[in-house]
Chains A and B, each alone.
Chain A
Amino acid sequence: MTTSGITPTPTGLTQGAATKGGIGESTLRPDGVLKVTGEFAYASDLWHEDMLWGYTLRSTVAHATIVSIDTAEALATSGVYAVLTYDDLPTEVRHYGLEIQDTPVLAHGKVRHHGEPVALVAADHPETARRAAAKIRIVYEELPVITDEASATAPGAVLVHEHRDDHHFPHVTHPNILHRQPIVRGDAEAAARRADVIVTGSYVFGMQDQAFLGPESGLAVPAEDGGVDLYVATQWLHADLRQIAPVLGLPESKVRMTLSGVGGAFGGREDLSMQIHGCLLALRTGKPVKIVYNRFESFFGHVHRHPARLWYEHGATKDGKLTHMKCRIVLDGGAYASSSPAVVGNAASLSAGPYVIDDVDIEALALYTNNPPCGAMRGFGAVQACFAYEAQMDKLAARLGLDPVEFRQRNAMEQGTIMPTGQPVDSPAPVAELLRRVKSRPLPPERQWEVAGGASDVRALPGGLSNTTHGEGVVRGVGYAVGIKNVGFSEGFDDYSTARVRMEVVGGEPVVTVHTAMAEVGQGGITVQAQIARSELGVAQVTIQPADTRVGSAGSTSASRQTYMTGGAVKNTCEAVREQVLEIGRRKFGTYHPAWATAELLLEGGKVVTDGGEALAALADVLEGEAVDLELEFRHRPTQAFDLRTGQGNGHVQYSFAAHRAVVEVDTELGLVKVVELACAQDVGKALNPLSVIGQIQGGTTQGLGVAVMEEIVVDPRTAKVRNPSFTDYLIPTILDTPDIPVDVLELADSHAPYGLRGVGEAPTLSSTPAVLAAIRQATGLELNRTPVRPEHLTGS
């Protein structure tokens, strides 16, 4: 084998050099250069001398008893170093999970979903590992599959977790119900009697996949002390560590984790994938083991967005005021719990949307089934609800003869509105304004496919390059939607982040090093960390250390929380560093100028300056021979658990809001949709990096567009097998499917948050789906209660 050129190794990990810019500036990503040259080391690029390749054998059936597993032939294959099954696990801790430890490291006795990991192989070539895995003989005895609420709760239904006696949630009425959260406030029955119109609707939300492009991958390197070093693409290093170490039987200090390059996440990397498997193989073989999922495996290697069935009833008076809301949201959690309990809490508490409704009767629940496990994905439970309540708003407006935007604005929540959970919204909630902004934007010109001379640019038509129409049956529709998402971890969770900041003089210049365990998954968090450090400490040079477990937890890169939480941690730690720097300055130079004792002092442009702008000392002189190095935690204000019967409680930290207007053109003959424009307005509190904020909003919008018209994991209802685990059959939007996405950013500060900022990443994923659906309904006059919309739904075939 020849090796030449650059070989990425774990030590080659770097976040790149920081560029200029403080908060509020569109500072460029420090990792951008490495990413455009191809040098950035993603998890699947890691390489180690003498490494082996790991492979995971997965179940081909959804629900079965494992009668026997025979690994002899696989193990005898030349080039194979290890074959592991459940029986080879080193300790009695054989399950893991984010909230409930019910996921087996390797299947034991039973498989509960298609694609569940059953055995592991390590070999000297990935193909050798795959071929050896194919020689493992497993005898399954198939069991009936639970695939929906009816089969889950039918009398005598098979239990997905037959030994479930934990009853974490005592009000849960059936062991196949994973979690249930009612919310009752006011008197929905009585309020319904005041309604002039009542509309009901049943909605179905398909199973969406995160479909991040960088496959699940990592490299586990056995260490001399009996521990293991793991380089991996993840969203939360410390949560992984907490789940991995007990299974390996190692203290956490002997499992050292470093974040490798992450190719997108969107919630799909919150649960473990290859982490424990890679470590087990490395510890067993004594060699470094790399595991890289292919796309087929990736569809089984992470949880998906919960598919949902939603039933809603809303009432309103003639003058367009909502009277009440009742809803029931059934989420399919699949075979293992993942973060389903929290998803249920979100779906329930945000089920009324950004509207004032005093009287509600809400129930949300998640089921255990034999479908693929579902958990975190961008928008986390709020997405499914938004799809349904926004359809209801349009129905009500139509029944009342009101403009759909006008109707929403009349009921829009604002600062001070009480949520269904009883929690007041205590920061700006510009719902009506966001709608006004998307509505007042000029519409894109009609029939844009007509080019001069009468010809058609088929690329701009529904069906695009497939050249299916020249505009004959094409009609346009416009639709609106708005949504509310919580930011950060809710329901009393002790959510915190840690930052270590070091300030010293190197080569005569003051430099700052920031070290956190925050997973940069593409969102731009490292850019923002450097911007904060530059702003707070007045230095040009900031280096961001690679994220690892040598520093305290940063919490998850999810729930739109990292700029708030790790940004907040960096800010607070910088403030403490600044105090110490000023202390040193006073000690060294305080006698030279009275302002040291009397004035408000800042660090700016590499100097200590008074608030009047007078420079007192160069930081290089203050810090000469000394370094300030601090590690501190940051917490947001505490939240409460929701009451399990009434759903009351101050459960959320912060809310974020986004509105969309979709313009679509539909070929009514073939059922093809072209989204022409998808305009968004969002309140971000404070845009720390406007360029990244807009990038996040456009990306989130596109994922919502995807689930509106194309994305769905299709599970066979009879066998619970996944039918489309490939990019051939699971479609995500291409650049031809994605329209212009103009973005209007509002900055209404939240006084509780660092810099007044609001989490950005998720809100745009909520409202883009219902906006597209509303536009298609307007174009076609069809009811369309399911997402994604497929051609057959539009042509009635």
Chain B
Amino acid sequence: MRVNFTVNGRPQEADDVWEGESLLYVLRERLGLPGSKNACEQGECGSCTVRLDGVLVCSCLVAAGQAEGRQVDTVEGLTGENGELGTLQQAFVDAGAVQCGFCTPGLLVAADELLERNPEPSDGDIREALSGNLCRCTGYEKILDAVRLAAARAEAAEEAVRP
């Protein structure tokens, strides 16, 4: 089958998609967007997290056909037009929240959704929002630091533009 959908604001079409293929497989193998990761393909680790019409989903559990006509946002969409890093991406690098980095894209998409919903999250809010994303390397402390840092930087930037 053919699937048409929008990825990071760009219309995409994938041909010859077999009905059983996941959105994750189509993104990675057919559209050349390998940013979303494949750590479990069982809906347990969150490394494949993307937004489907704004809502967080595990793309490994979404059949590609379900994305027909919808908007998908992946980690690749967090990078600016000219390749500059988004606030969260930069904060992950600066805070040392990236080790092997395999969990990172999923965490970034989930944290991005959190900060959009709740720009000043408490530690409990951050832990709750990211509890579906496994990381085996970092012990999470630096991931918390990164999200706090991104929230603080976004706040500071906001204040800077206020009259």
Contacts and interface: CB of A to CB of B under 8 A. Distances in A.
Contacts of A459: 124, 127-128
A2 B34 contact: no
B40 interface: yes
Contacts of A498: none
Contacts of B37: 42, 44, 213-214, 263
Interface in B119-163: 124, 126-128, 130-144
A127 B12 CA distance: 23
Interface string A1-42: 111111110000000000000000010110111011111111
A395 B79 CA distance: 55
B42 A699 contact: no
A524 B128 contact: no
Interface stretch (A403-411, A713-721, A728-736): A728-736
A125 interface: yes
Residue of B15, B93, B100 with highest tally of chain A CB at under 10 A = B100
Interface stretch (A139-147, A247-255, A567-575, A690-698): A690-698
Q: From DSSP, what is the main secondary structure of chain B's interface residues? A: loop
Contact of A42 (B20, B76, B102): B102
B94 interface: yes
A698 B98 contact: no
Contact of A736 (B12, B31, B40, B131): B131
B105 interface: yes
A262 interface: yes
Contacts of B100: 212-214, 262-265, 521-522
A209 to B, nearest CB: 10
Contacts of A36: 75, 78, 85, 89-90, 92-93, 98, 101, 104-105, 108
Given A5-B33, A37-B85, A38-B105, A29 B98 contact: yes
A699 B137 contact: yes
Contacts of B36: 38
Given A213-B136, A699-B137, A727 B42 contact: yes
Given A29-B93, A295-B42, A735-B131, A35 B12 contact: no
A2 B14 contact: yes
A82 to B, nearest CB: 21
Contacts of A460: 124
Contact of A727 (B38, B44, B143): B44
Interface in B55-94: 74-76, 78-79, 85, 89-90, 92-94
How many B residues are at the interface, by size bracket? 35 or more
Contact of B31 (A2, A39, A728): A2
A426 interface: no
A521 B32 CA distance: 24
B139 A702 contact: yes
A211 interface: yes
A213 B47 contact: yes
B99 interface: yes
A491 interface: no
A45 interface: yes
B131 A727 contact: no
A695 B32 contact: no
Interface of A is mostly: loop
A743 to B, nearest CB: 9
A44 B47 CA distance: 13
A694 B144 CA distance: 14
A37 B89 contact: yes
B116 interface: no
B136 A212 contact: yes
A125 B19 CA distance: 13
Nearest to A290: B29
A7 B32 contact: yes
A728 B132 CA distance: 12
Nearest to A524: B99
Contacts of A39: 35
Contacts of A727: 39-40, 42, 44-45, 134
A5 B131 contact: no
Contacts of A214: 37, 39, 100, 102
A376 B124 CA distance: 35
Contact of A213 (B28, B33, B45, B74): B45
B89 A4 contact: no
A740 B144 CA distance: 10
A266 interface: yes
A523 interface: yes
A457 to B, nearest CB: 6
B102 A5 contact: no
Interface string B6-29: 000000111110101100000011
Contacts of A775: none
A727 B16 CA distance: 31
Nearest to A689: B96
A295 B107 CA distance: 19
A523 B59 CA distance: 28
A29 B90 CA distance: 12
Nearest to A37: B79
Contacts of B140: 698, 702, 735, 738
A211 B35 contact: no
Contact of B135 (A44, A213, A700, A726): A213
A190 to B, nearest CB: 45
Contacts of A699: 99, 136-139
Nearest to A706: B136
Given A213-B134, A741-B141, A263 B39 contact: yes
A31 B101 CA distance: 9
Contacts of A1: 14-16, 30
Contacts of A266: 136
B98 A32 contact: yes
Contacts of A698: 138-142
A702 B44 CA distance: 18
A26 B96 CA distance: 9
Nearest to B90: A36
A41 B34 contact: yes
Contacts of B30: 1-3
A215 B98 contact: no
Contacts of B132: 734
B127 to A, nearest CB: 5
Contact of B139 (A28, A212, A523, A701): A701
Contact of A28 (B93, B102, B127): B93
B113 interface: no
B34 A45 contact: yes
B96 A125 contact: no
A28 B142 CA distance: 13
Residue among A6, A32, A44, A728 with most chain B CB within 10 A: A32
Q: Which 6 A-B pairs have the closest CB atoms?
A: A38-B35, A522-B100, A35-B101, A263-B102, A698-B139, A727-B44
8 contacts: A26-B96, A38-B76, A40-B101, A41-B34, A522-B101, A522-B137, A694-B96, A732-B136
Interface of B: 12-16, 18, 20-21, 28-42, 44-45, 47, 74-76, 78-79, 85, 89-90, 92-94, 96, 98-105, 108, 124, 126-128, 130-144
Given A3-B30, A4-B31, A6-B33, 20 more contacts: A4-B32, A32-B93, A35-B101, A36-B89, A36-B101, A36-B108, A38-B105, A213-B45, A263-B100, A459-B127, A465-B128, A522-B99, A524-B99, A698-B142, A702-B139, A727-B134, A734-B133, A735-B127, A735-B135, A735-B144
